[in-house]
Amino acid sequence: TAGEHAIHIHQTADCTSADGKSAGGHWNPTGKPHGKWGDVTGYHKGDIGNFTADENGNGTISMTTDESCIGCGDSTKDILGKAVIVHAGADDFTSQPSGAAGARVSCAGIIE
C-alpha cells in the first residue's frame, strides 16, 4: 500500500508463517534498545528505518554501512540467515521493542 513503511532485519530467514512472526524479533546481537539507525543512544542492528511506497506499492531504500556483512561469520555483523521484514506502518524510532510499526506485511530471507 502507498505510504511510509518500516523496514527491519529480523532474527531468522523463516518466512513460513502468514503473519511473518516465524522470522522472530528484530535482529539485535548487541542488546541495544530499539532506535534510529546510527543514533548514539543505541539501536538494534536490524533497525533499518522507513521508506515510502508509491500508489502501486513500490518503494526503494538505499544505504551503505560497515555495520553488517553477508557470510563473514561475525555474529554481531553477519546478516546471512536473517530476514528483511516490511511493516504496515512507519517506525517511530522510540516505542520499545519495535517502533510501533504495525503488522509484518512482507518477508524475505537473506539466504546467500
Per-residue pLDDT tens over the stretch 83-93: 999 999 999 88
Dist. CA 106–CA 68, nearest whole Å: 21
Which of 34-43, 69-78, 79-88 bottoms out in mean pLDDT, i.e. has the lowest?
34-43
Task: Kindly report, residue by residue over 4-19, the tens digit of the pLDDT.
Answer: 999 999 999 999 999 9
What's the domain count of the chain? 1
Percent of the chain, pLDDT > 90?
63
Q: Given pLDDT bands bounded at 50, 70 and 90, which one contains residue 43?
A: confident
CATH code of 103's domain? 2.60.40.200
Positions marked catalytic: 8, 10, 26, 34, 44, 47, 87, 104
The length of the chain is: 112
Task: Kindly report, residue by residue over 50-66, the tens digit of the pLDDT.
Answer: 999 999 999 998 988 88
SS3 state of residue 44? coil
* Residue 24 structural domain: 1-112
Residue closest to 86 by CA, chosen among 53, 38, 45, 43 = 53
Dist. CA 105–CA 94, nearest whole Å: 21
Residue closest to 50 by CA, chosen among 87, 80, 18 = 87
